[in-house]
Amino acid sequence: MASPAIKGFAGPPSELQDAIFASPLLGGSLPADAERHLEKASLSYHLTDVAETHLHAAHALAPDHAAVLIAFYRFYFYKGHLFEALQMARACIRKALQENVLEPDWREVRADQAPFGEWDALVPRFFLFSLKGYAYLNMRLGYFAEGRLAAEKLLELDANDRIGARVLLDVLDRMNRDLYDE
């Protein structure tokens, strides 16, 4: 079960979130004080300044911990702070690249470098979901070319499209058709 510290925020699907917290690699070693701040942030979500203060306190204690990065991402995403959510998606990508021992640039990652097609492979899946969030947010912010590149990379890495990148590309294709039909 996911840490209650993250329950109020959106991001990776709940089963991935649960797996992250159960994983010694991504979920382990979160300092107790950081977890308490995440819990308080979740409970005070409706009080934006208070919640954000707790998130920053958790970040100060565990700046590169997946739980903190995901909590920030979800908070900003659901508060409609899309640019800040994009920054956190980038941080999640960096974390996932490091944990997967991949190239430092997601554009250089190849399908044979990690078991991206294996749904039980938690760390590669964390990378895929982080990249999907990045693609989506770029699209929402009007950075369509960057969003397309990220969605295309997802399909390259996840040929069966279990992550759902095709939907993003379909939206972009439909937008292009609508633009040229007018």
What does the block give as tokens for 81?
A: 């702070």
pLDDT tens digit sequence for 76-86:
999 999 999 99
Domains and CATH numbers, the chain: 14-181 (1.25.40.10)
Measured between alpha carbons, how far is residue 33 from residues 30, 40, 43, 55, 138 in Å?
8, 11, 15, 11, 33
Counts of helices then strands in the chain (DSSP H, E):
8, 0
Q: Is 117 within 8 Å of 79 (Cβ atoms)? A: no
Residue 182 has pLDDT above 50, yes or no: yes
pTM attached to this predicted model: 0.84
pLDDT tens digit sequence for 118-141:
888 888 999 999 999 999 999 999
Residue 44 has pLDDT above 50, yes or no: yes
Angle between helices 165-181 and 122-140 (to 10 degrees): 20
pLDDT tens digit sequence for 64-102:
899 899 999 999 999 999 999 999 999 999 999 998 999
